[in-house]
Structure 1
């Protein structure tokens, strides 16, 4: 099976659990989970039975060792996962409200993932690969954004499709909100795009375009498939050959930490089996079947806590219609 390359951050999600009351003091408890959006996507592909490689950097510390071991445990190729000699692995503390929605506190100042360099990009990374998947968390500082741009350039030169899950985390940006101009420049380079509705509206806030106009602009340039999700509400999809709205599965939400990454992984797992993306997009039935599969992956993941352990295997999301 063709390889999916996922580039970016692997980090530790410390996810809130039940608090302890000791000596009249409430002590929040956090469990240590492997995570990071592109790392989650790589594990999602691998757990479904696909061929996934993770490209990035963690620290040479106990957290970095844990992440490398966790990726390997789920069958992800870590030959391009570096461990920085001095920089630390990034951490994220994740709290939940009573509906399972998240709030994040990141510890990512000069962390190892941000110090990944252009010299670490080699032609061997792209061997047998079909898709390069990335997210916006490698755009938050100029240096790592330049590395991301170079990786995309080389991936395109090797004939890979580019998949971009916008996945905005505003508190990772120096100004406290994402630089829409920077993100839009990378959006314009991708073949496969996934936005949440909030992300799409944010990127259009300082422009004169509405969603239909922006989507048509993207499809007229590089994009071949654009997906806009909206939590548990119907998603929208667009290609050069048509568009539609899909109802997503309704489930009891436990933790939304990697629902979007599970969706991306399900989509990538299906797309990496294709020979031609344009031919795929010409069949609305194939697009709908693939997006329904991805939506089931996302729905399954939010019924379980954490990231890697919450992601489905193929049997969890396969229906008779898929055979």
Structure 2
């Protein structure tokens, strides 16, 4: 690891097979996965970004590592297990260009980063540690996530959590919900969609979900609602932050771009301390999510800082 302050992310690398059209009859291969997108997205925004994952010795794993290194992502905290095969996911597009995770492929689910593989040095110089629930379905990965959060807290690192609920990866919705909820009490910054809020809080309306979520006492919550913008939950207040309208091409990865923007903002400025600072953070992240939605792909669509001027009021 370098001695410079960096953002640290933990999760699975994926190969995304993304539909080329709404007929979902042809696909293009991309490096992907929510945490991969965030790690690379942060790097594209000019912030040192390190990633904890596991890859193997086959061509697909070499592709994954090569693409991450091209993005400037630091892989020192990651491990290589020769037998590991990187997971894949087929992503279909609806007529409205929303993403649907249609099928997962995972040949080696039991080959995971173990808790003892975690490097304390990676946490010592981290400003923000980011996770999502995508790997938690596996007992070993769950233990590793718990240990990683423990290390982050011990080193005073801000903990970011994107709920990123993917029911297809779990044996039951109940276990998916219960596992994700366990991490809410150690979360400093939560990103959750309106649909995920209803799922996690078991509520029918956004107002009910927000009320139940308040019981977890999370310092900062961003509730994203696509083209409707973002609701921020901060110090007992709920306020709306609009997004600049765009013509979407592919919404895959837009939420990850939002998260990358939030993490970048916090890495540079620290946790927001006022309502206006929260609005500034959400506005910046909204722009990144919107920009991402104007391009096809996920990682390929992660915005760079210099692209922000493409969006005007």
Same fold (TM over 0.5): yes
1:49 aligned onto 2:40: no
The partner residue of 2:6 within 3, 7, 32 is 3
Shift of 1:318: 4.8
Counterparts of residues 56-75 of structure 1 (less than 5 Å): 56-75=53-72
Question: Which 5+ residue runs of structure 1 have no aligned equivalent?
Answer: 20-25
Counterparts of residues 158-169 of structure 1 (less than 5 Å): 158-169=155-166
What is residue 270 of structure 1 aligned with on the other side?
Answer: 265
Distance 1:216 1:71 in 2: 37
Shift of 1:109: 4.6
What is residue 212 of structure 1 aligned with on the other side?
Answer: 210
Question: Which 5+ residue runs of structure 2 have no aligned equivalent?
Answer: none
Distance 1:187 1:130 in 2: 19
- Count matched residues: 306
Aligned-pair RMSD on alpha carbons? 2.4
Shift of 1:237: 0.5
Change (3 A) 1:97 1:121: same
Distance 1:59 1:86 in 2: 6
What is residue 307 of structure 1 aligned with on the other side?
Answer: 298
User: What TM-score do you get using the length of structure 2 for normalisation?
Assistant: 0.91
SS at match of 1:130: strand
Whether the aligned pair in 2 keeps the contact of 1:170 and 1:178 (CA below 8 Å) is no
What is residue 149 of structure 1 aligned with on the other side?
Answer: 146
What is residue 279 of structure 2 aligned with on the other side?
Answer: 288
What is residue 122 of structure 1 aligned with on the other side?
Answer: 119
1:131 aligned onto 2:131: no
SS at match of 1:163: strand
What is residue 106 of structure 1 aligned with on the other side?
Answer: 104
1:247 aligned onto 2:242: yes
Max radius of gyration: which structure? 1
Change (3 A) 1:177 1:83: farther
Distance 2:175 2:57 in 1: 29
CA-to-partner distance for each residue in 1:213-248, whole Å, 9 max, x for gaps? 2232222xxx21011111211321011264311111
CA-to-partner distance for each residue in 1:71-112, whole Å, 9 max, x for gaps? 111111111222221121101111112211122211125347
Report which stretch shifted further, 56-65 or 173-182. Answer: 173-182
The partner residue of 1:175 within 136, 149, 172 is 172
Distance 1:117 1:297 in 2: 33
User: What TM-score do you get using the length of structure 1 for normalisation?
Assistant: 0.88
